[in-house]
């Protein structure tokens, strides 16, 4: 990914894509303490706009706070950096990656006295789990890896190090021919996907694991809460077991990258009719209407980049 034209925002400067480098002795590279965001900008009739920029930026600062890192920029500067990166790279719709890391002043576990940095990059990125996945649904495997315990890594931080667990789960699932992994919490209840929150639908009611299972508080997850209310659907956060997923009528993953991706199979067991369900489709349509600027009620969630 490094050999591209374009600009990356690094510590307040726009840097040539190829020159946006850090030293091999950077603290985060060795110990994994850093935080990031995944954000999307969509092409709307009113121009390109970043979806829920404020909430993503807030979560980045909260992640840094949890990790005891002080970002040397204000949230306003970081929001402006994200708008600038989309603008300067002339992207119509794209994925954005802000990341904060600890510098190369010294090594040793303690980051005290080290520098904190921030970068924002943006590039075009289509459907994370495939265009076909959005239509037909994906095949998922319950991971043999357990999701983080809430007092081992901090699960409300979108921390760099949390993703080793996601990588292992995703590689295991995809090596076995599945599209994505679903992880259980240390007590055996459903937590989330490797990079997605999970929803199941049973008898018209929408359920999602409550955050005590260690799932990230997804911004798409919150968007689904609003959509359910608009559609008159009852939504409940609760502990969910693996077998409750097996016998649900419909299921889907949500995430900034994954958007709303139906799940048609878990552990080779067909969920419902084994394809995108009718309620999932309604929610998915409402979601794409909102992010693409076709629902005026949520116009405030779209920040124009121009
Ligand atoms: N869980 C994990 C582990 C994730 O990486 C993501 C993607 N950020 C999500 C859930 C979904 O969060 P969001 O909807 O805010 O992208």
**Ligand 1 atom 12: the closest Cα is on which residue?**
218
Question: Does ipTM exceed 0.90?
Answer: yes
**Nearest by Cα to 276 from 259, 294, 293, 289:** 259
Atom of ligand 1 nearest to the CA of 59: 15
Would you say 226 and 298 are in contact if contact means Cβ atoms under 8 Å apart?
A: yes
Q: Which of 169, 218, 224 to mutate to test the pocket of ligand 1 (most atoms within 8 A of CB)?
A: 218
| pLDDT of res. 127 | 86
Which regions of the chain carry the CATH code 3.20.10.10? 131-291
From the list 70, 141, 158, 236, the catalytic residue is 158
Q: What percentage of the chain exceeds 90 in pLDDT?
A: 98
The per-residue pLDDT for 138 is: 98
Residues of the chain with CATH 3.30.470.10: 7-123
Structure confidence by residue, pLDDT tens digits, 65-91? 999 999 999 999 999 999 999 999 999
Beta bridge partners of 253: 198, 261
**For the chain, what percent of residues have pLDDT higher than 70?**
100
* CATH class of the domain at 7-123: alpha beta
pLDDT band at 129 (very low <50, low <70, confident <90, very high): confident
Predicted confidence (pLDDT) at residue 279 exceeds the cutoff of 90? yes
Residue 24's pLDDT band, with cuts at 50, 70 and 90, is: very high
158 is catalytic: yes
- Cα Rg, the chain, nearest whole Å: 19
Helix (H) or strand (E) holding 205: strand 205-209
107 pLDDT tier (thresholds 50, 70, 90): very high
Query: pLDDT at position 93, please?
Result: 97
Residues 271, 251 contacting (CB under 8 angstroms): yes
CATH of span 131-291: 3.20.10.10
Query: 216: which residues sit within 8 A by CB, 6+ positions away?
Result: 155, 156, 158, 192, 197
The arithmetic mean of pLDDT across residues 274-282, rounded, is: 98
Query: Which tens digits make up the pLDDT trace of 223-270?
Result: 999 999 999 999 999 999 999 999 999 999 999 999 999 999 999 999
97, 194, 197, 283: residue to mutate for ligand 1 pocket, most atoms within 8 A of CB: 197
Q: What is d(CA 21, CA 11) in angstroms, rounded to the nearest whole number?
A: 12
pLDDT at 161: 97
């Amino acid at each position: 990914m490094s050999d591209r034209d374009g600009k990356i925002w690094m510590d307040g400067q726009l840097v040539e894509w190829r020159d946006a480098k850090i030293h091999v002795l950077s603290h985060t590279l060795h110990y994994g303490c850093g935080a990031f965001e995944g954000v999307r900008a969509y092409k709307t009739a009113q121009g390109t706009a970043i979806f829920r920029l404020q909430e993503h930026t807030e979560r980045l600062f909260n992640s840094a706070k949890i990790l005891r890192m002080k970002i040397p920029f204000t949230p306003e500067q970081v929001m402006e950096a994200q708008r600038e990166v989309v603008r300067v790279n002339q992207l119509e719709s794209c994925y954005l990656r802000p990341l904060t890391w600890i510098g190369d002043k010294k090594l040793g576990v303690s980051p005290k006295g080290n520098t904190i940095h921030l970068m924002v990059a943006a590039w075009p990125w289509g459907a994370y789990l495939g265009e076909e996945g959005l239509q037909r649904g994906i095949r998922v495997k319950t991971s043999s890896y357990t999701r983080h315990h809430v007092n081992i890594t901090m699960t409300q931080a979108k921390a760099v190090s949390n993703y080793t667990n996601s990588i292992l789960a995703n590689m295991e699932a995809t090596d076995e021919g599945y599209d994505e992994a679903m992880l259980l919490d240390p007590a055996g209840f459903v937590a989330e996907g490797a990079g997605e929150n999970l929803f199941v639908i049973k008898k018209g009611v929408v359920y999602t694991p409550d955050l005590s299972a260690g799932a990230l508080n997804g911004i798409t997850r919150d968007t689904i809460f609003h959509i359910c209310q608009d559609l008159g659907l009852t939504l409940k956060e609760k502990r969910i077991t693996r077998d409750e997923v097996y016998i649900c009528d419909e299921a889907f993953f949500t995430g900034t990258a994954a958007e709303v991706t139906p799940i048609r199979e878990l552990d080779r067991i067909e969920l419902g009719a084994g394809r995108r369900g009718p309620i999932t489709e309604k929610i998915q349509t409402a979601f794409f209407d909102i992010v693409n600027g076709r629902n005026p009620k949520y116009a405030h969630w779209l920040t124009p980049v121009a």
